[in-house]
Amino acid sequence: MRSYTRYLTLETKKKHEFVNITAEVQEAIWSSGISEGIVLVNTMHITSSVFINDEEKGLKKDFIEWLEKLAPVDGKYNHNLTGENNAYSHLWRTVMGREVTCAITKGKLDFGPWEQIFYGEFDGQRKKRVLIKIIGE
């Protein structure tokens, strides 16, 4: 059993943004030389997310609108009483998730036809890291 670690650094141009990182994860798998195993991809920040879904512009807009209904950006939150103004982004991250674990088969992500890996930024415009950890043979 071998392991391989890579870190991605992302800095979004928008405060709320979804970035498709599937190609970067697949490239890390190829670099690892691991052909059978699993890959863990997780954000290392509490106001961002990693999740799997479809690469479709309308769906990305739907996610933001849905999250805004669940936890409005301008809502009244106890966390914001500490001097912060990003409580909503912590809540959005909790809903969208911290990480994904995916199978690797024959050196490739073993995905369904529409599955892609996304980094979701909810309090952006500064550098944040994503961990890619690959384990297998």
> Where in the chain are the domains?
2-136
Q: What is the pLDDT of residue 96?
A: 98
Q: What is the pLDDT of residue 31?
A: 98
Q: Supply the DSSP symbol for 78.
A: G
Kindly state the average pLDDT of the residues 88-116. Answer: 98
> Residue 31, SS3?
helix
User: Over the stretch 26-57, which tens digit does the pLDDT of each residue have?
Assistant: 999 999 999 999 999 999 999 999 999 999 99
User: Over the stretch 58-97, which tens digit does the pLDDT of each residue have?
Assistant: 999 999 999 999 999 999 999 999 999 999 999 999 999 9
CATH 2.60.120.460 is the classification of domain 2-136: yes
Kindly state the average pLDDT of the residues 100-129. Answer: 97
Q: What is the pLDDT of residue 44?
A: 97
Q: Which of 44, 36, 51, 61 is nearest to 119 (CA)?
A: 51
